[in-house]
Amino acid sequence: MQTCTRCLMDETVPNIVFDDNGYCNLCNEYLIRAQNEIWTHPDELGSLIDSVKKSRISKQDYDCVMGVSGGVDSCYALVVAVQNGLRPVAVHLDNGWNSNIAVRDIKNLLDRLKVPLVTEVLDWQGFRDLQVAFVKSGIPNWEIPTDHMITATLYRMAKRFSVKYILTGGNMTSEAIMPKSWMYDSRDATLIRSICAEHGALLRGRINIMSFLELAHAVFIKKIKYLPLLNYVHYDKEAAKQLLIDKFGWQDYGGKHYESIFTRFFQGYVLPLKYNIDKRKAYVSCAIMADQISREQAMKILDGPPMCESQIRIDRLYLLKKLRLSDKEFEDIMDAPNKSYFDYRNEGFIWGYRSGKSGVVMEKIRRFATKGV
């Protein structure tokens, strides 16, 4: 098993390539993206903030919509926005899986920042059926339903509040190294509908999937921008975490995206066991590339298992009960052959997951939606 000599990505990633130095294609691509997508010169942040402020129509209460999950990234992004004089409305998606700590963290933070919160509560039965369809699908991203609904909700809220900016806690420093084969574009409505149809989930009237046309309307007609605010500041995650703890009573829940119990179990148990994917490798590799931890520190983090046995047992019981799956059904799902996104109908040609003209449209949307100022 070859491991990159600079980051910690290894041959568990399909199609990983190493150059003569032993550096992998993922961290090489990171360096190129970092040059183009991190704008930490103070002028860049200043002009973004100006543009957001100017976009507010007088008498309006807000100038941007910001998603908040309760995690470090989205919480810290809110702090940056408020410190720079923006007037955000925070939007939280309740998909039924939030840990109590995350909910309390959000409330504490927003109270102190005096930022109003809108919580979008999904129809639980509808969302459960959608999630179960993905759990049965065999594809390695069971988080597509949640990610899709977060994006859809943010665009819909931006329209509702007539704002032109959606600012998120997305950032290069902790997310930019993520192999394509581990993920898929959660905006692909055709994939979602196809998986639902095949695995018996009825969405009609319960869960409102965002079609490509709805997204294109928001991006090109309404000209709503979707920007990762933390790419505009020097984002040091550990320092940000400490600030949230010291000033906002924020509590650590021990793992990236572990604010949701579903995510914790999926990343800590399902992905390593069923798909041979340990997402921690990508997270620590990002941190190495962003000079936030040493390669040796990162190796220590990966030494232990992603999740301890007792937590696995607790979460598994909780998850199966909530999804109404029996032990046998779940074991069959874990033993079933894995599938690819392309075993289902999809819009891969739009989202950059096909060869040939792949990604032309996605690239246009990305450029258009993220050209901040």
Which of 40, 82, 267 lies closest to 173, judged by CA? 40
How many amino acids of this chain bind Zn ion (CB under 5 A)? Answer: 6
| CB 141, CB 199: distance < 8 Å | no
Nearer to Zn ion (CB atom), residue 9 or residue 68: 9
Name the segment binding Zn ion (CB under 5 A); options: 1-9, 217-225, 314-322, 341-349: 1-9
Q: What is the nearest approach in angstroms of Zn ion to the Cβ of residue 166?
A: 31
Q: Is 330 helix (H, G, I), strand (E, B) or coil?
A: helix
Nearer to Zn ion (CB atom), residue 11 or residue 37: 11
Nearer to Zn ion (CB atom), residue 6 or residue 128: 6
Nearer to Zn ion (CB atom), residue 27 or residue 80: 27
Nearer to Zn ion (CB atom), residue 16 or residue 117: 16
How far is residue 331's CA from residue 359's CA, in Å, rounded to a whole number?
Answer: 36
Q: What is the nearest approach in angstroms of Zn ion to the Cβ of residue 98?
A: 33
How far is residue 268's CA from residue 131's CA, in Å, rounded to a whole number?
Answer: 17
Name the segment binding Zn ion (CB under 5 A); options: 8-16, 129-137, 195-203, 208-216: 8-16
| CB 165, CB 225: distance < 8 Å | yes
The single residue among 12, 19, 24, 147 that binds Zn ion, judged by CB under 5 A, is: 24
Structure tokens at 203: 């969405």
Q: What is the nearest approach in angstroms of Zn ion to the Cβ of residue 22?
A: 8
Q: For residue 284, what are the CA distances in angstroms to 34, 229, 266, 288, 290?
A: 16, 21, 18, 6, 10
Under rule CB under 5 A, residue 282 binds Zn ion: no
Q: What is the nearest approach in angstroms of Zn ion to the Cβ of residue 233?
A: 25
> How many angstroms from the chain centroid is the CA of residue 355?
25
> How many angstroms from the chain centroid is the CA of residue 248?
23
The single residue among 1, 2, 3, 7 that binds Zn ion, judged by CB under 5 A, is: 7
Nearer to Zn ion (CB atom), residue 24 or residue 224: 24
Q: What is the nearest approach in angstroms of Zn ion to the Cβ of residue 287?
A: 13
Q: What is the nearest approach in angstroms of Zn ion to the Cβ of residue 34?
A: 13
Nearer to Zn ion (CB atom), residue 4 or residue 149: 4
Nearer to Zn ion (CB atom), residue 23 or residue 161: 23
Query: Can you give the C-alpha Rg of the chain in angstroms?
Result: 20
Number of Cα atoms under 13 Å in the Cβ half of residue 259: 24
Under rule CB under 5 A, residue 4 binds Zn ion: yes
Q: Pattern of binders to Zn ion over 126-165, x per CB under 5 A?
A: ----------------------------------------
Under rule CB under 5 A, residue 290 binds Zn ion: no
Other Cβ atoms less than 10 A from the Cβ of 343: the count is 14
Under rule CB under 5 A, residue 27 binds Zn ion: yes
Nearer to Zn ion (CB atom), residue 18 or residue 368: 18
Q: What is the nearest approach in angstroms of Zn ion to the Cβ of residue 119?
A: 39
Name the segment binding Zn ion (CB under 5 A); options: 27-35, 104-112, 256-264, 297-305: 27-35
Q: Which stretches of the chain are assigned E, i.e. beta strand?
A: 64-67, 88-94, 117-121, 165-168, 225-228
Which of 41, 139, 153 lies closest to 95, judged by CA? 153
Q: What is the nearest approach in angstroms of Zn ion to the Cβ of residue 15?
A: 14
Helices H, strands E: what count in the chain? Answer: 18, 5
**Residue labelled with tokens 């209460």:** 61
Q: Pattern of binders to Zn ion over 41-80, x per CB under 5 A?
A: ----------------------------------------
DSSP string, 113-180: HT--EEEEE--HHHHHHHHHHHHHH--S-TTHHHHHHHHHHHHHHHHHTT-SEEEE---HHHHS---G
Q: Which parts of this chain interact with Zn ion (CB under 5 A)?
A: 4, 6-7, 9, 24, 27
